[in-house]
A and B are shown apart, each in its own frame.
Chain A
Amino acid sequence: MSETLASETSAGGVLPGAPGEALQVEVRGEGELQTQDMNLNVGPQHPATHGVLRVVIDVDGERIVGAQPVVGYMHRAFEKLAEHRDYRQIIALVNRHDWLSAFCNEVGVALAVERMMELEVPERAQWIRTMMCEWNRIMNHLMFVSSFGLELGAITPMFYAFREREDIQHLMESATGGRLHFTYTRVGGLKDDLPLGFLKASEELVPVVRRRNQEYRDLLLGNEIFRARTKGIGALEPEVALDYGVSGPSLHATGVAEDSRVTEPYLKYDEVDVAVPVARNGDSYDRFQVLLDRIDASCDIIEQCLANLPPGPISAKVPKQIKAPEGAIYVRTENPLGQGGYYLISDGGKQPYRMRMRTPSFNNVQMIPHLLQGELLSDMVAIMGSVYFVVGDVDR
């Protein structure tokens, strides 16, 4: 994406663009003690912004006076591309907008099409899908556990979390063939059955993850410096969160227990106990704590899936060319980062007429300027690291 000149917003503000642009300065105070606000570009290349997110901030010394995220650096036109792909190709496409929760995205699309076609997905496939979604959730959360610690300066949890992620990725690879983009779901079920030894390996991995999750609690949540950096930072009110459409750990940390697995159960979530951890204050500490609690909750769900997995076919009979009947549907799933959804309008053909991807990160990132107002620069990192988002998800 080429860097462009500053453009006028309709409200008259100027968004600084190209390097070499004149500094935007706001001079305050009079006389000899004049101070100037500094206009700083955090990103798009920055170690802390989780990818190509750019935040243009006005700082007065170290205090942020105003912030404006600039997104779109990773726009890959997924919605346009989806209109030119048939339903099997779309599964490989939607892997990629939130690449850390690839399987959950696939399941969302498959569910949308299956509901429109009123397909009956076999039991075994649904249980396996549930279990894979939860493993994916653990992988996603581990990534953010590690990166949040890293941004605050604790470099060690990153290595520990990636150790776990490596084990889980190995497990997923044995079943799906992919470590990050699984493309395991198909409309009507799954691609293949689980390999031999998968269930045993899963059973052995769950207690390991649980035990190591406790390590993260000790190493990070219990650390004085961590608490000092995150308690009270970036507190979000529930009404504001709902107004922006924030979902996932950021919303649960404010106390609103809105989770699609509970309110509109899909797959087999109505037959397992789904714990939805919530916290009270909505600050960065709570968001992180909710993340760790969600890992434990996912471990519980996986154990229940392992106990209940029935034998049977793993895919329903589907025609070679899958055509969704005319109509529109909105299916929402609880992705690891929040609520993901697909609004699918079909005209009866084998490609969608319109596929709108409701991505959790888009709404979560919109909320960031509200949280950054008046915070210190160091807190900006603590806040942005705790509002979990993936830039590919924001831009699609």
Chain B
Amino acid sequence: MESIFTFDSLLFTVLVKVLVIVAFFFVAALVVGYLEHKVMGHMQDRTGPMEAGLGPVKHGVGQLVADGAKFLQKEDIIPRSADPWVFALAPGVALVPTLTILVVIPFGPGVWAENLDLGLFFALAASGVTVIGVLMAGWASANKFSLMGAIRDAAQLIAYELPLVLAGAAVALQAGTLSLVGIVERQNELLLFGAVPVWYGIPQFVGLGLFFVAAMAELNRPPFDMPIADSEIIAGHMTEYTGLRFAFFLLSEYAGMVVLSALATVLFLGGWYPWPGAELPDGPLGAVIGTVVTLAKIIILTLLMTWARATFPRLREDQLQTMAWTILIPLALAQIVVIAIVIVVLP
């Protein structure tokens, strides 16, 4: 199937795709951020933002827009002993790779930018580039706390890339393709024990758990937010940042939540199909239904991440590493072995 954003003129196609992706990136981050404010607020027995509104609608919907405007008008401060170029570029290096992952993620039948044959590979590779941005920020800030945060983050991201990749690899193994669109469509055809249609999340529930936990660690979400632990190292690599650059770091966290949840949806939760084995009508109606279904699943996953944030204290760095290297990675490897055997043995 072709992407719905295909037009005759290549330039126009590319332009539309880029605009749609960037727009979705920002809007999704805003929506998820708003949900986190309100949901976490209610979990903590308070209401969250109520005053800031957009037009007639209040209840804090305009809070993040106001925050963005506030960050825009802040003074751009670069510490005197900081490395100016590295310092200035770090937020971009942390943000842009997350943006590029959106290129390959399918939201509905035909609703994607590119259907790369190497879709999953590209997505996971791009998600690893953000480490560099963090290290750049931590080093260039000329601040001991930033440096400690950056080193912690680098170690954490390296450790948790592996379960992420291995869980994804198990899915690719079962689907037989690395293309994300192909994975979704193969998922829809999966029949457990030849009879019950299920998504990959059921036979690979271990992989789903691993992917989700590793995603939270990749994004520095609690309980894995030791690198930006604000009771210890102030804000880690983001300590010296203000204004728009700081906003970019925050944006990369919320947008990252959306992107990795989208990946999890596509890999384990059936993508755009409302239930296992469903058939969507052709044409625009199917695309709309599929997109809505995908967005709903993404929001549920981000709500889970918010729930985890409100509940758990943070893991210490060495406990985090221990968990990754001695529990998660062996589990992921074992899962790959099991899946490989199952695929060969069962038809």
Contacts and interface: CB of A to CB of B under 8 A. Distances in A.
Interface of A: 38, 40, 46-48, 62, 149-156, 159-160, 163, 219-220, 223, 225-226, 228-229, 376-381, 385
B216 to A, nearest CB: 13
Contacts of A46: 234
Nearest to A149: B313
Contacts of B225: 153
A155 B310 contact: yes
B314 A153 contact: yes
Interface residues of B, number: 28
Most buried by A among B226, B230, B311, B312: B312
Contacts of B310: 155-156
A150 B225 CA distance: 13
B191 interface: no
B234 A378 contact: no
Interface string B226-246: 100111111000000000000
B317 interface: yes
B143 to A, nearest CB: 11
B313 A223 contact: yes
Contacts of A48: 231-232
Given A150-B231, A223-B313, 19 more contacts: A38-B144, A40-B145, A48-B231, A48-B232, A62-B148, A153-B313, A153-B314, A155-B222, A155-B310, A159-B44, A159-B45, A220-B313, A225-B312, A225-B314, A228-B315, A229-B316, A376-B317, A378-B232, A381-B229
B9 interface: no
Provide the main secondary structure of the chain B interface: loop
A1 B234 CA distance: 23
Contacts of B232: 48, 377-378, 380-381
B319 interface: yes
Contacts of A149: 313
B234 to A, nearest CB: 7
B129 to A, nearest CB: 26
Given A159-B44, A378-B226, A40 B313 contact: no
Contacts of B43: 156
Contact of A379 (B44, B234, B316): B316
Nearest to B224: A153
Nearest to A155: B310
B312 A381 contact: no
A223 B312 contact: yes
B311 A156 contact: yes
Nearest to B222: A153
